[in-house]
Amino acid sequence: MTREEIRNQYRALRKDFTSEQCIYYSQQITNNFLRNWMFNHKLIHCFLPIHRLREVDTIPLVKRLRRNNRVCIPVSNFDKNNMTHKILDDHTQFQDNAYGIPEPVTGEDVDVKKIQVVIVPLLAVDQHGNRLGYGKGFYDRFLAECAPETLFIGLTMFDIHDDLEPNEYDIPLHYVVTPKGILKTTANQPVPLR
């Protein structure tokens, strides 16, 4: 199967989820994540979900992580297919962009190099941490800019896919969280966070 065929397959599967299934899987992913990592005094990037596409609901995770960390949320530029990142605070205001992604409209911009953990949305991922998104390269570009010790953690409601052919830009994830548990991929781990 081509990347595009695999992409379409997962898109279709996700569209068939009910909102109850989506909530249930999201809770399991959140619980598995927090059982493994709470982090402390880190700068963490996390996406916010496109509800219409039944993405993992990261809002409870973001709320919990923000208790002991700084969390930044992406703002997407669909002309350049890149993102900037704004720190979440008690006063952050959000607005859905044209693709239904909630984005902060206020808040301090973050230097990409200072981000220590990136929580990545996925359509499909394999045991090596190779991933498939919507195909615009947003996360490929972003992960390439991050400092070498940054930890990349993907979230998916699906099981790990058989090997995906990486393209030249693919940067593998270090961990994947599913409703069933946590997979440490075969990608080289950066130095452990203190």
Ligand X SMILES: Nc1nc2c(c(=O)[nH]1)N(C=O)[C@@H](CNc1ccc(C(=O)N[C@@H](CCC(=O)O)C(=O)O)cc1)CN2
Residues that bind ligand ATP (CB under 6 A): 3, 132-141, 144, 167, 169-170
Least distance CB 192 / ligand X (angstroms): 27
- Binding partner of residue 75 among ligand X, ligand ATP, none, CB under 5 to 8 Å per kind? none
Which is it for strands 82-87 and 70-77: parallel, antiparallel or unpaired? antiparallel
Say if CB 58 and CB 48 are below 8 A apart: yes
* Spatial distance between the Cα atoms of 117 and 127, rounded to a whole number of angstroms: 20
Other beta carbons less than 10 A from residue 121's beta carbon: 23
Specify whether the backbone of 93 is left (phi greater than 0), alpha (psi in -120 to 50) or beta: beta
For 65-74, letters b (16+ CB in 10 Å) and e give bbeebbbbbb
Site for ligand X in 124-183 (CB under 6 A): 133-134, 136, 138-139
Least distance CB 55 / ligand ATP (angstroms): 12
39 interacts with ligand X by CB under 6 A: no
37 interacts with ligand X by CB under 6 A: no
Query: Counting every residue, how long is the chain?
Result: 194
Site for ligand X in 61-100 (CB under 6 A): 74, 76, 83, 99
Residues 6+ apart with CB under 8 A from 112: 85, 142, 145, 146
Complex with ligand ATP: residue 102 or 133, whichever CB lies closer: 133
Least distance CB 162 / ligand X (angstroms): 21
Count of positions on this chain that bind ligand X (CB under 6 A): 18
Residue positions in the annotated binding site for substrate? 48, 55
Q: What are the residues binding ligand X (CB under 6 A)?
A: 11, 47-50, 53, 55, 74, 76, 83, 99, 101, 121, 133-134, 136, 138-139
